[in-house]
Chains A and B, each alone.
Chain A
Amino acid sequence: MKLPVKMTINDQSYSHEVEPRLLLVHYIRETVGLTGTHVGCDTSQCGACTILMNGQAVKACNFFAVQADGANIMTIEGLAKDGELHPIQMGFWEKHGLQCGFCTPGMIMSVYQMLERYPKPSEELIRHQLEGNLCRCTGYHNIVKAIEWAAEHMPAKK
């Protein structure tokens, strides 16, 4: 039994018929074709699949596409505007906040929510807020620096 789903991803509207068991991350990657969102552990621990749904960070490997019917989603592809990297992306660039880069899309989407909630985070808070995103290369030090850089360069809230 397929069900219709309709959602907005990166300001574009998508409608498909999907099996209820289709996970949101596979819907995004394979049905819609946005492969920036990664599948890491597939057990909701590593955070590589993190996207924003209605403004909140969600692990898309632990969510069915049918549950997202009507939702507004942003993936890593929705962050840069007109070819300009978002300050969080710039932070990861400037501070070398990645090595292999596999965890980076999920990291960045989690950081997006982190800086919405805590615009000026301490190092301790950053490390706690990153509990749901595993990186096996960097030891996190440069990721923390990247986030601190991003926090300083985020545009002031209107």
Chain B
Amino acid sequence: MYPAAFDYHAPSSVKEALELLGKHKDDAKLLAGGHSLIPMMKLRLAQPKHLIDLRKVPGLSGIKQDGNMLAIGAMTTHWEVESSALVKSKLAVLSETAALIGDPAVRNRGTVGGSIAHADPAADYPAAMIALGAEMVCEGAKGRRTVKVDDWFKGLMTTAVGEDEILVEVRVPVLPASSGAAYLKFPHPASRFAVVGVAAAVTLDGKGMCSKASVGVTGAGTKAIRAKGVEAGCAGKKLDAAAIEAAASKAAEGVDVQADLQGSVEYKSHLCRVFAKRALTEAVKRAGG
């Protein structure tokens, strides 16, 4: 399968990449790891006339701690997140999420920024980013701005990034004390995409009650979404098996569950509830509850 012909650019700075983006506008696509874009180009679902490869732009990859945040460069690969000693020690759930993406070869190339900017409705990171309360840093000609995850995913493969901006960094807060988080999914057997995936982060107070629950769902609808009903069902409760079951029963509420080749609305709604229960159970266990 051959993509439509295009001109290839490999700028050596964000500024140069932004200039190319400004010049070619809708005719251009940014290329990171290419593991979403290139398959779409091969199927000719995407036919950009200009491809702007970010591989030579310095400073876009790597993970560092910045106060209570992990700052992850947009070009950081899934394997780098999966294998990072810093991520494993500060925010293990993120490393675990990365390790569930695709397969080892895909994780070698696919990038955090690419996944978050592409916003595939079945991608794994979006659910985790919602549960963890991440922020996206976009750079444009006028400088940088930060977008909270709840304002990021707008719809099917649509995000808050401006057409004249580049997502340069993803910032993820580390969990407070007495917290636990988990991401679990039902993977498609060939692609390993999430048929449904749920990430849950739970913080317990001194009495073992849930002081905060944050839950993201991916795969079910047209975009990853916060499961507000589950969060409300957890708040202030002692999260035993019955309370988790009751909260998780709300997992498909407010989600625009889509029937597709993987399953019916009923089936995928059921998976939302099952995986919300499993993710919450594991998160509570890790929080020491």
Contact = CB atoms under 8 A, between A and B. Distances in A.
Interface of A: 1, 3, 19-21, 23, 42-45, 47, 50, 56-59, 62-64, 66-67, 110, 113-114, 129, 131-134
A21 B39 CA distance: 12
Given A44-B35, A67-B34, A132 B102 contact: yes
A59 B7 CA distance: 22
A43 B10 CA distance: 24
Contact of B104 (A44, A45, A131): A131
Contacts of B8: 3, 20, 64, 66
B105 A47 contact: yes
A62 B7 CA distance: 17
Contact of B108 (A42, A56, A133): A56
B51 A20 contact: yes
Contacts of A1: 7
Contacts, number: 74
B102 A67 contact: no
Contacts of A50: 105
Contacts of B102: 131-132
Interface residues of B, number: 30
A147 to B, nearest CB: 13
A43 to B, nearest CB: 6
Interface string B255-287: 000000000000000000000000000000000
Q: Report the 9 A-B pairs with minimum CB-CB distance, sorted nearest first.
A: A132-B103, A20-B8, A131-B103, A57-B105, A56-B108, A21-B3, A132-B105, A59-B105, A45-B190
Interface of B: 1-8, 10, 31, 34-35, 38-39, 41-42, 51, 53, 55, 79, 102-106, 108-109, 190-192
Nearest to B187: A131
A19 B51 CA distance: 13
A42 B42 contact: yes
B106 A20 contact: no
A133 B106 CA distance: 11
A21 B2 contact: yes
A67 B105 contact: no
A122 B105 CA distance: 19
A106 B132 CA distance: 36
